[in-house]
Amino acid sequence: MNNHALCWINQTIKPAAEASISVFDHGLLYGDGVFEGLRYYFGKTFMLEAHLERLWSSAQAIGLELPYSRQEITAAIEQLIEQYHSDSGYLRLVVTRGQGSLGIDPGKCANPSLFIIADELSVMNVTDLSQGVSLHVSRTRRSPAECLDPKIKSMNYLNNILARIEANQAGMDEALMLNLDGYVCEGSVDNLFIVSDGVLKTPSLDCGLLEGITRAVVIDIAIGLGIPCEETRLVVADLERAEECFLSGTGAELIPVRQIGAHVFDRPRTSLVPLIMHTFKEKIAEHCTKR
């Protein structure tokens, strides 16, 4: 959190350090709630409709009724952006089950809580992300869909946090999570792509990963550029044989990977990833034109 961080809560905007929720809020007590991370550029939120659609879908999946309409949330986001000190930044939109008695029964919570934070985001503790990041192949496996539908962007990120702890302990920047069958799933907070023999590949959704919004943007960009693209099942060895690898996410945007475990990508870069990254920036500029 920085000194400029703001929070929209209870229809008012205040310094984030002054915003608070009850200690009896089930979002705090049990991680019972959903959230979205959003980027805005030049004062306009990137892919807002897609993020709100996923927020509604996640809330519906856990039986959580949002306390505000899409129009009201959009207006709140616009107000927050107008008051934040920068015309480009990061937003965290959180909806909790709300205040209730001790015990996990969601029926004890009458009124869901919604707040939005505008702040800087540090996805990884890396000075220069453009130089590429290192991935640790985590022993912590991604929770299977039979236990928790990966389409739900839930507040409970313990599975991902445990994987990131492993990466930290290994001295690596990010965790690479596999599913129970050993197929590559995703990073702790991002999706993954590789370039192999001129084909852009990413783990298929049936591997149990979050259907990332930036992931979908990258796939659309590849299709538009005529780059062959496959959603498929990958193992770690596929990544090590690839020419290039990168991560995608709302917070991460697009980040090249320089190393996975002991394997370092030392082959000459293809022209595909720089082209995708350049086109991604163009798409942002096109979508978020200055007002």
CATH of residue 261? 3.20.10.10
Give me the long-range contacts of 194-197 (CB less than 8 A, separation at least 24).
194/234, 194/238, 194/239, 194/242, 194/243, 194/244, 194/245, 194/246, 195/242, 195/243, 195/244, 195/245, 195/270, 195/272, 195/273, 196/238, 196/241, 196/242, 196/243, 197/243
Statement to judge: residues 16 and 111 lie in one domain:
yes
Task: Tell me how crowded residue 60 is: count the other CB atoms within 10 A of its CB.
Answer: 13
Specify the 3-state DSSP secondary structure of 107: helix
Statement to judge: residues 161 and 211 lie in one domain:
yes
Q: Give per-residue pLDDT as tens, 141-199.
A: 999 999 999 999 999 999 999 999 999 999 999 999 999 999 999 999 999 999 999 99
Statement to judge: residues 243 and 269 lie in one domain:
yes
Contact (CB, 8 A) for 194 and 239: yes
Statement to judge: residues 111 and 38 lie in one domain:
yes
Statement to judge: residues 171 and 189 lie in one domain:
yes
User: Which range marks the domain in which residue 39 is found?
Assistant: 6-119
Statement to judge: residues 107 and 18 lie in one domain:
yes
The shares of helix, strand and coil residues in the chain, as percent rounded to the nearest 5, are: 30, 30, 40
Statement to judge: residues 256 and 281 lie in one domain:
yes
Contact (CB, 8 A) for 236 and 265: no
Q: How many domains does the chain have?
A: 2
Whole-model pTM: value is 0.94
Contacts of 57 (CB under 8 A, 6+ apart): 151
Q: Give per-residue pLDDT as tens, 232-281.
A: 999 999 999 999 999 999 988 999 999 999 999 876 556 788 899 999 99
Examine the fold and report which residue of 57, 86, 119 is the final residue of a domain before the chain moves on. Answer: 119
